[in-house]
Amino acid sequence: MRGLHQTAKNGICCFVPELLDIIVPVDEDETNLKNIFIVMEHEQSDLRQLLKLGLSSKLTEEHVKLILYNLLCAFKYLHSANVLHRDIKPSNILINKDCQIKVCDFGLSRTLPESCIGSGSGNSRRIRESISKNKLHKNFSAEEIKQVIAMKLEDRKKEMNAKQRSLSSHVGSRWYRPPEITLIMKQYDSASDLWSLGCCLYELMRITCGQDAQAMKDMTPAQKKLAQILFPGECCYPLSPKISKKDGKPDEQILQEKDQLRITIDKLGALDDTDLAFVTHDEAKNYVQVLMQKSAATKKARHFLEDVTSSCPELREILTNLAQLNPYFRWTPSELLKLSYFNDLRIPELEKSAPQKLKLDIDRDEAFDYENGVSKLYAKKDYIAIIMKEYNFINKNRRLYLKSYAQQKKS
């Protein structure tokens, strides 16, 4: 473990692959751009490939701890820079033999504009921080803090529903898609990435727990894959309902038993009104309540922690705090990094926030004002110019970060 820790201390300076170049084909028509090519540094592997190896990967709980620490540092930095990834899954987490990680594939990522970060929404981190700094809440239990958050959300429900601008609803891979996106909430924020991180953590923990060797032995390859996933839904109503092959209509039985949100509720255990406080629309709340009733009636519920009983209590606690239905209940990277569990890995330089927030022109509210499918603000060639501008800006900040990091090491 010391070797891995020393390698991390010496080698990890940034948590995203370096963007080496952006190439526009010479024969491309600038008035009708269709292709650009992004050249990035090569990494050895990713978490998906590691998870495919299963028990043969020889992954230990110490490896998982180091991977998780690096991921929390990465998300603290990205989220403090105002970047929301929106598609976290094992294949988008690159890793090398020393457990250094880099987050990749920012194709669905966004910088949040002011209309999405205002006082009433897109601020789960702000609400949690304000409560933690309030002396009146210092001695509150976890359940009492949840009650306080629920009351704040209820007070702001009208303001949240009144938001004109909303983020894209159908993003993220189904198994890693957070409930707030599944329920098509108008606003969501960095907490959505943390749900996806929790799903990845569960898969890593399943390997270190040895899973159930005998049960896995009798499974087909497809069944083995599903057994490793935290929430393996086959459809995601209303975004992607399961359609019957016979009549082309939604398959109600599949919808009830194998719907993504239904499986999520089955595995989260007992929920109460505070868990639904983030849902701003009555129709969505009624839908969740119906699924909760069905889950209770069938008695098929099995809490996800029962699958990782041999994991250490600290990892189980972290997983529980990430896999919260209510995004405002999920612990932030800053909160999780403060846990004594990470004391033997702690590298202060890696736990720093970004020096400034990113505000990309391409994410301005005006850029999403469309007419006949075309942005009123930008033509296609403008997007390439913006990308090149941001490429230079990001690389400049990357160099400044590495220079600062090197100077701190010398001192």
Higher pLDDT, 167 or 364: 364
The pLDDT of residue 121: 35
Residue 30 has pLDDT above 50, yes or no: yes
Asked if 328 contacts 188 with a C-beta cutoff of 8 angstroms, the reply is: no
HSE-up of residue 177 (Cα within 13 Å, Cβ side): 28
In a domain, 91, yes or no: yes
Q: Report the alpha-carbon distance of residue 209 to residue 205 in Å, rounded.
A: 6
Residues 282-324 pLDDT 10s = 888 888 888 888 888 877 778 899 988 888 999 999 999 999 9
The pair of structure tokens assigned to 107 is: 């194709």
Number of domains in the chain: 1
> Cis peptide before 333, with omega less than 30 degrees from 0?
no
Which of 154-158, 202-206, 405-409 shows the highest mean pLDDT? 202-206
Mean pLDDT of 224-243: 75
- What does the pLDDT average to over 365-380? 57
35 part of a folded domain:
yes
Question: What's the distance, Cα to Cα, between the start and end of the chain in Å?
Answer: 26
State the alpha helices, DSSP H only, in 231-322. Answer: 252-258, 260-268, 282-298, 313-322
More confident site: 257 or 117: 257
- CA 129/CA 212 separation, integer angstroms: 40
Look at residue 353 and tell me if it is in a domain.
no
Residue 148 pLDDT > 50:
yes
369 in a domain, yes or no?
no
Whether residue 384 is contained in a domain is answered as no
Q: Is residue 361 part of a domain?
A: no
Counting Cβ atoms within 10 Å, is residue 364 exposed (0-12), middle (13-18) or buried (19+)?
middle
As given in the structure block, the two tokens for residue 33 are: 């751009």
Query: What are the structure tokens assigned to 242, written together?
Result: 């399961």
For the ranges 85-89, 215-219, 332-336, the lowest mean pLDDT is seen at 215-219
Helix (H, G, I), strand (E, B) or coil at 155: helix
For the record, the structure tokens of 263 come out as: 């499986």
**Model confidence over 226-235: pLDDT tens digits?**
788 999 988 8
**Which of 221-230, 269-278, 398-407 is modeled with the greatest confidence?**
269-278
pLDDT of residue 24: 75
Structure tokens at 379: 């033509």
Domain CATH number, residue 110: 1.10.510.10
Of 41-50, 112-121, 211-220, 245-254, which gets the smallest average pLDDT?
Answer: 112-121
20 or 204, which is more confident: 204
b/e sequence 202-216, b meaning 16+ C-beta within 10 Å: bbbbbbbeebeeeee
- 347 belongs to a structural domain: no
For the chain, what percent of residues have pLDDT higher than 70?
Answer: 65
pLDDT band at 106 (very low <50, low <70, confident <90, very high): confident
* Amino acid letter for position 393: F
| Residues composing the chain | 411
- pLDDT, residue 269, reads 84
Task: Look at the alpha carbons of 362, 360, 70, 401 in this order and tell me if their dihedral is positive or negative.
Answer: positive
Per mean pLDDT, which of 50-59, 88-97, 203-212, 398-407 is the most reliable? 88-97
Greater pLDDT, 285 or 393:
285
3-state helix, strand, coil in the chain (%, to 5): 55, 10, 35
Give the residue carrying structure tokens 């180091």.
66
Mean pLDDT of 111-130: 55
In a domain, 88, yes or no: yes
Q: According to the model, what pLDDT value does residue 231 have? A: 93
Range of the domain at 77: 2-332
pLDDT at residue 122, rounded to an integer: 42
Query: What are 140's two structure tokens?
Result: 């509150």
